[in-house]
Structure 1
Amino acid sequence: MSETMRAVDVKGGAGPVEALHITSIPKPVPSGSQALVKVKAFGLNRMDLLQREGHYPVPPQAPKTLGVEFSGIIEALGDAPERGFKVGDEVFGLAYGGAYAEFVAVSTHMLVHKPKELSWEQCAGIPETWITATQAMYLVSKYAPGKSILWHAGASSVSIAGIQLSAADGASAVYATARSDDKTEFAVKTLGATAAFNTKTQDWAKEVLKATNGKGVDIIIDFIGAEYFAANLEAIARDGVIVNLGMMGGVQLKEGTSIAAFVMKRVTFVGSSLRSRDEEYQGKLRDQLVEHALPRFIDGRLQILVDRVLPWEEIQEAHRLLEGNKTKGKVICTIG
């Protein structure tokens, strides 16, 4: 058995799209609870772009190779795997890194058996996206049926998951924002949002207040950061929760930004991330995904939307697609 494998690397350690290339690196050896998975497909995420550029704080246990979600076949196991996994099993899962490669070593606590009804490409697009949405909704914002919720970046992969989960799990109303009419229409007609607002052409906070008869929305899931900070405080309801998962719109607030709503509305603002969480925390989310969402993927109640599938030799083009913000669903690369 070869001790090396092919993997995507970044020339110089960090750089632009053109720095991505496929090279040979040592093949990982599984230990403890880990499995060595032969990768069939992997999903792209915005954190990959930041990590490629050297702007993402990678967890200490992560390999330098990009990629956190994948599907594939177990080739070997460490000496203490989770019960129920064996060599030859078809799986998908979430890793701390290393998925842009022919093989990835990952804890069996973060693996899920691949249903026969789903493709390799679909399964590679589930873990990071759907677990992040589940975490933001249930663990962080304490969502409960009957609450209203707004998902920013409504055509992004996490919001595609979150909008569907919210609608399926009894939200009183599900709102979304996006930067084009095409994407707002997609959020309503394809994903089931109650309404969606174009942040380039509409005052979306005022539209939310109008849609809720002045009450505001109970939960806001935000990936934008500083650019939407003031409007989030305007659109949130009394005792509402704003969950920040990203800073695509910057980190510096405009001078004069009022924080009065924190007291006047008793607003909770909480930041969260998934990749920096420990294995036990991530494992609980994996279990929730298996129990809560997997049956709905199989019977079609929840859609795994894949926008583009490319061979991994076209990894540069795959990153360009994500950078262009034109996709409505996952970008997936296949190996083999």
Structure 2
Amino acid sequence: MEGIKHRMVSVNGINMHVAEIGEGPVVLFLHGFPELWYSWRHQMLHLSARGYRAVAPDLRGFGDTDAPASSRSYTYFQIVGDLIALIDSLGQDQVFVVGHDWGAMIAWYICLFRPDRVKALVNLSVEFKPQHPSRKLLVENLRAVYGDEYYICRFQEPGEAEGVCARAGTATVIKKFLTYRHPGPLMISKETGLGGSPNTTINLPSWLSEEDVNYYVSKFDEKGFTGGLNYYRALDLNWELMAPWTGAQVKVPVKFIVGDLDLAYCMPGVKEYIHNGDFKKDVPFLHEVVVMEEVGHFINQEKPAEINKHIYDFIQKF
């Protein structure tokens, strides 16, 4: 980890923290919630040792990157704008992109908006979600399916989820999310919150150490969770703004990887969409779909050796 360098870059009106290591073609890593650049530590070391320049920012709202207060500052357009400015600052015309969770969502939209800047994409956990203007607003739809205690619904009201996190304690929040392996929906009870307190004991899996947790905790203690929660609070605004892209396809080479215990993979209709041909219609240059058995949502940390190989084997073709 000592070889990873850190710097601040001015992009799109904010200051962004960037971690990087290596020389060669750039691989841009995009993290999810509640994560940081640190989520890609294994992949960065692996690819930098094989002739690539691994670059992993803290996305807007996270870690040492600026966190605008308003949820309206967290649309796909603003976040993709940050990343295009970052790519420009690296002196690159094109980069490889690897995304997970919210980072995967943002990666799809980089490819949708600016396919000229992406050589190829490896996306983890979250499939492409095409625009359906006839559907209800997304959060309303999720509430109708899962109820008010579904985590995305609980995240909507400013201050409410922050209160849940404060009562549980930052370490408990990080451990609860990163160790979640139930394929069903993540619910946050209005009575019990995340079901724990700062004194709750949570046994960590072999792939997640207390040292890892402490790094996340140090940054979220400093920054808070609001920046990350604002991604969820901008969902309906994104739905409205994305209307012009109805029917648009992602036209870059893609490899998609997901765990069979991933809550995103187990949402109603997702498996059918991925495997019955519609995914391939929306992403016509989809080369491969990999479903890893007995693997949860945080796949790049849970199975780093396998994910490292999948990424390298795919991008070295280009």
| Alignment TM-score > 0.5, same fold | no
TM-score w.r.t. structure 1 length? 0.28
Tell me: higher relative CO, structure 1 or 2? Use CA pairs within 8 A at least 6 residues apart: 2
More helix by share: 2
More strand by share: 1
